[in-house]
Each structure stands twice: as C-alpha cells, then as structure tokens.
Amino acid sequence: MKDLESLSATQAIKALSKREIKATDLLLSCLDRIGQKESVVKAWASLGKENALSRAKQLDKGAFQGLLHGLPIGVKDLYDTYDLPTSYGSPIYANHYPVADAVAVALLRQSGAIILGKTVTTEFATFKSGLTTNPHNPKHTPGGSSSGSASAVADFMVPLATGSQTAGSIIRPASFCGVVGFKPSHGKVSIAGIKSLSVTLDTMGCFGRTVEDVGLGVAAMSGDHRLAKIEVLHNKPRIAICKTSSWPFAQKETATALAVARHAAERVAKGTVIDQKLPKTCDGLTQAQTRIMISEMSRSLTFERVHYAKKLSPQLLKQLSEGAEISYEQYAKDLSLADKSRAAMEDLFNNEVDILIAPSANGEAPLTKDGTGDPLFSRAWTLLGLPCININVGTGPNGLPVGVQLIAGPGKDHFLLSAARAFTLALPDPTLRDQA
C-alpha cells in the first residue's frame, strides 16, 4: 500500500486492524512527509521520533489495542505530556516536562494511539501567532490557536491531531486549512492536565480529514465510544441557516459557502431549509463571551503575569490588563446571560430545529501579517457549550478553503456526527464528499 500518510484515520485503523499495514510503516511515512514539508509549514513544537518508533514496534508485535491502535497523532502543545516538552506556546515554559499526561492524552495512549509530537499553539492559546503557515499557501495563516494541529492534518503529516477552543480555535483553523474540526459539547473531554484559560469556555476536540476520523478521536479522548460508530440518519432533520448577528462581517466567500450549504442541507432535510434567528435572550452573547474569556484569563495567568511579565507578549499583557478591569459584578451578569441563553437554545432545539448551519469564519484565511483571523463567528457557540463541526464546502478568492459549521443541541454530539456525514455526502463536489 503506497502513500500511507494520505490515509484518513479511519482508513488507517481499518488497515492496521486487519494487519494489512504496520504501525511502523505508517509512522515512517508520516515522518517522511514531515521531513519534506516541516521547513515550510512549521507545524511542530517538538517531535518524539524514537519513543514513537518504539511504541509502533510494540504495537506491531502485540494484540490489537483499541480504537486508535497504531495511529500517529499530533497533540496540541497545550496538553501535558510526560515524555515530551510542554511549553503552552510560551518561552516561560521552554523545556518544561510535566510529570504526567493530560487525561485526554492518557486516554489516547490507552486506545493505542502513538503520540508523534507536540503541535504548535499560539501563546497560551491566545492570539499571538506562532511560526506555523497554512499548507495551502504559506503566506496565509492557518488560524489560531490550534494552528499546528490543523496544518499538520491538512498537510498529511498526521491523520489526527488534538485541539482546543476557548473562542474559535478549532472551528476557525479547520475552516482555514480545509479539514474537519470537531468541537464537542463543553465538558465532553476532560481539561485536566491542560493549561486552562477559561474553565467556562475551554473545550477540547480534534482535527481529522473525515467526520468519522474526528468521531474516533473524541471517542478515545472522552471515553464515549458511541462516537466511534456514526449512525445513518433515517429521519428528516429540521435544518436551518443561522447567519447570526455577526453576518455584516462576513465576506463574499462566506455567503457563497452558506448558499452551497443550504443546497446540501435541503437534500438531507428532504425539504425547505429556513433561516433561523437566535432567541432574543442571546442578544449580546458574543460580547459576553469576550468579557468572560479575558476576565477568566486574567486570573488563570496570574502567576505568569506576576513573575514573568517580561516574557509575555504585549498583546497578551494588554488582554490580561483589560480582563482585570472587568468587575466581578459584570462577570457574574455575563455568566447569568449565558445560563439563560443556554436554556433558550435548549428550547429552540427541542421544539423548532435539529441542526443549525452557520459560518465558521469571516472568510478564507487572511495573510499571516494580518493575524490568525477573527473568532467572531464561533464565540457565541462556544459560550453556549454546543457541539460544533466544521466541514469544508468551497474556496475563496485566493483558492483557500472555506467551511461552514454545523451545530446541534446540548449533548447531541452523536447526532451531530450523523448529520455532518449526511450533509457532507450531499455536497455537490465529489472531492468534498470524501470528508464523510
């Protein structure tokens, strides 16, 4: 079997389980690809080649271990790993070796995954970009903060990589890099052993090349193995387009992407796809998410700000200062708005709609000099804690990918995966259907 690095996670695991390929050969193929492309893409903060090869050889000799047996994986450098440095994207933690794996990493290893290395994250998963480039055009950003993970999967360096989202750090880079990004329900994956910015918002997920891939990844990371088997939709789901109040900031390619998405959704729904506004209760949710995030950040990074301020970027110091100025009364008010909004959205999903389709980002990936892109179109969904998945549906004026996100009701992660696969198979471009 040639070009093993181009296999999706699902394809690779099927071949590994049948012993049609060896974990060692798959790993070496990924390492060869990294050797060819890393000087341009710069997706990796560190690689653990020797440990990974040793692990692959053990797996090739032993019994089939679990959901991800023999699969090379990239881990965002926000997750603790006992055998690889974990810097959280900051010079403060250069050469920092945690004593234990994050819970999600430990579960990935238990499922048979091979941790190939740590992927680049922005500084503490905020907005100061790292060196990573977009595999489709190195002059453009891959998005943040899960930049290395999205780029590594998009460039066939690994079939699966972990990410995290506090504002838009899974969905946006997935859209910019043209891969599937799955942000499950808030709390689905443990944040223990992960450098936290905001306990209210931090959500762990992953990137893959197909819907099945990310289902497998989150199944292993969470222990919810139902996600590893995506069921076929047998009903006609109620699907709606939700442009959100941020629609005036959408670029032309995003409008085109939603039009393509509507057509595909109508095939899935076997009927009309309506436009849906969010409940009135949700007004101001995007602004509330921003305040909650920077308020909690200012407390989460207190130690670093007090002891290592000179090693923090000016952008981050400014955010921490702004967060510290938010009164606790305002913070509590924003949390209350979030609670009321979640209740209103639960009613909406129970009574009116099963799936919402919304923009993943303003448009295609901007130039690197202009930053990692705006998380505007993901902020509210992150605060609501709803499961979201990015699917690539087209390209922008520079030929870069443009995605849309599908959103399901509270805790409906399994249903979302089923709907996303059905939606992907309904896309007009046969190449895009490969994301199923």
Residue 46 makes CB contacts below 8 A (sequence gap 6+) with 77, 84, 85, 117, 118
3-state DSSP call for residue 395? Answer: strand
Q: How many CB atoms lie within 10 A of CB 249?
A: 15
CA-angle at 432, arms to 421 and 388, nearest 5°: 45
Given a contact cutoff of 8 angstroms between Cβ atoms, the answer to whether 355 and 239 are in contact is yes
Burial (CB < 10 A; 0-12, 13-18, 19+), residue 376, is: buried
Set 8, 111, 145, 198: catalytic member: 145
Given a contact cutoff of 8 angstroms between Cβ atoms, the answer to whether 255 and 220 are in contact is no
Q: Is residue 169 flagged as an active site residue? A: yes
Burial (CB < 10 A; 0-12, 13-18, 19+), residue 435, is: buried
The structure tokens 């979640």 sit at 342
Q: Is residue 252 flagged as an active site residue? A: no
Distances (CA, A) of 329 to 291, 298, 332, 336, 383: 12, 15, 5, 11, 18
422's enclosing H/E stretch is helix 413-425
The structure tokens 């938010």 sit at 326
Set 146, 147, 149, 169: catalytic member: 169
* 44-47 and 114-119 beta bridge pairing: antiparallel
Burial (CB < 10 A; 0-12, 13-18, 19+), residue 35, is: exposed
CA distance 279 to 288: 15
CA distance 237 to 417: 13
CA distance 380 to 179: 22
Which amino acid would we find at residue 363? G
Q: Is residue 76 flagged as an active site residue? A: yes
CA distance from start to end of the chain:
22
Residue 320 makes CB contacts below 8 A (sequence gap 6+) with 294, 297, 298, 301, 305, 312
DSSP state of 19: T
Active site residues: 76, 145, 169
